[in-house]
Amino acid sequence: MDNEIEGMIRLDLRDYLAKDGFTLDLKESTADSFKMRRASEILIVREREDGVWGYFNPHDDNDKGTIIQYLQRRRGAGFTLGHAKNHLRGYAGGAFRGSIVPGVPRPMFQPTRNLSHIPKRWDGFNAVWGLPRYLEGRGITLETVKAYASALRMDRKGNVLFAHTNDDGQVVGYEIKGTDFDGFAKGGVRILCRMGHKDGGGEPAKLALTESGVDALSLAQLVGRTDTLFLSTGGALSPYTLNAIKAAAARYPEAEILLGFDADMAGDDFAAKVEQALQGREGVRRIVPKAKDWNDQLRLGARQPTP
């Protein structure tokens, strides 16, 4: 799948459906499953753990998929993938990006299911004392790993784990990164992986958002700042994540917020949604890597000017 399609299927499908005549049924929706109606038509919309938005029709087993399948099914057999890309390009750079679904609140979501097994599992993993082979291959140095080791663990397969925590500091999930594997904790919740500045050192000067823990480490290594709290979304912007970003912005009102998402359409979409969620807060700006993401830039050897 090409990068353009990868970005398009991560656009918030609720927004597109609202523009296509659907409305949200608030009473029948939950924090992570949204029922949308258009006349007699009903679709259930969800964001997957990998950040892809999908839907299904509870009355038609063949009507399901991403925004691409939604378009192809309704435009007919002649509506190709190329047609879908051309159609969506107009939205990706315009009003569709980051728009608000009529009737969709932006609540302070918190996970409701029992996550007590996640910190127990996390405590059973090995602490990171040296330089994991995977991170070494991504250009991360031992010095950087030591600086942010409290947010890291390793599993028995050598994968590096990045803790996602709630606002109380409890581990509720973790990114899993390895040479042959890229995933997230089964049964966990993506909120934010928080690395760097601690409360004991006063308020951080900057909050830097990235799409992955590896990108957060890479940006930290590139800029060499110790006054910054680096935050990874784990590749998705769930309601839980947006809530946590808003809470961090409120907690540190003087901190500048850097939107360091990938240099692609999905990254631009992430940045637009965060800006919208922060509702005009001052001191928010987009920073863009010189390659697709911060790790690619790090491995290319292009140092980032201090943002």
On the question of pLDDT at 98 being above 60, the answer is no
Task: Work out the pLDDT band at 259, boundaries 50, 70, 90.
Answer: very high
CB atoms within 10 A of CB 117: 12
CB atoms within 10 A of CB 305: 7
pLDDT, residue 307, reads: 66
Buried b (16+ CB within 10 A) or exposed e, 179-200: eeeeebbeebbbbbbbbbbeee
pLDDT, residue 201, reads: 62
pLDDT, residue 191, reads: 92
pLDDT, residue 106, reads: 38
Comparing 37-46, 69-78, 129-138, 226-235, the range with the smallest average pLDDT is 69-78
On the question of pLDDT at 84 being above 80, the answer is yes
Task: Work out the pLDDT band at 97, boundaries 50, 70, 90.
Answer: very low
Say how far residue 201 (Cα) sits from the centre of its chain.
Answer: 27
pLDDT, residue 94, reads: 37
Task: Give the whole-angstrom CA distance, residue 222 versus residue 304.
Answer: 6
Comparing 96-100, 187-191, 286-290, the range with the smallest average pLDDT is 96-100
32 vs 194, higher pLDDT: 194
| Mean pLDDT of the region 79-106 | 59
Task: Work out the pLDDT band at 257, boundaries 50, 70, 90.
Answer: very high
pLDDT, residue 103, reads: 41
Identify the residue whose tokens are 């947006």: 242
Identify the residue whose tokens are 């609140």: 105
On the question of pLDDT at 110 being above 90, the answer is no
pLDDT, residue 262, reads: 96
pLDDT, residue 57, reads: 96
Q: What percent of the chain has pLDDT over 70?
A: 87
Q: What percent of the chain has pLDDT over 90?
A: 59
307 vs 274, higher pLDDT: 274
Task: Work out the pLDDT band at 105, boundaries 50, 70, 90.
Answer: very low
pLDDT, residue 298, reads: 95
| Mean pLDDT of the region 144-160 | 96
Contacts of 224 (CB under 8 A, 6+ apart): 306
Cβ atoms 193, 216 nearer than 8 A = yes
4 vs 10, higher pLDDT: 10
